[in-house]
Amino acid sequence: MKLIVKKKNYTKGEIIKIVREWTNKTQKEFAKELNKSESIIQKYEADEVNYGIETLLDIAKENNITITLEKK
């Protein structure tokens, strides 16, 4: 699976939600595999809490996904 994120295409929250939905996981399941709370996943998806590149890399690795970031 490959997700290509172009500048201004998606919010950070939308990226997390897309990956979670592609993997057919609930927020609870997704949180558990990342050693995060369900509420933090909810906040990520709602763009209430910012996450770093390390979190994105963990998500990609855990779900066998290639995430490509492109600058316009």
Tens of pLDDT, residue by residue over 21-59, are 989 999 999 999 889 999 999 999 999 999 988 888 888
Statement: residue 72 has pLDDT above 70: no
Our measurement of the distance from residue 12's CA atom to the centroid of its chain's CA atoms, rounded to an integer in Å, reads: 7
What pLDDT, on the 0 to 100 scale, is given for residue 57? 87
- Please compute the mean of the pLDDT values over residues 50-70 and round it to a whole number: 85
Q: Which residues of 32-65 are buried (b: 16+ CB within 10 A; e: fewer)?
A: eebebeeebbbbbbeeeeebeeebbebbeeebeb
CATH fold label, 2-70: 434 Repressor (Amino-terminal Domain) (1.10.260)
What pLDDT, on the 0 to 100 scale, is given for residue 68? 78
What pLDDT, on the 0 to 100 scale, is given for residue 2? 63
What pLDDT, on the 0 to 100 scale, is given for residue 3? 61
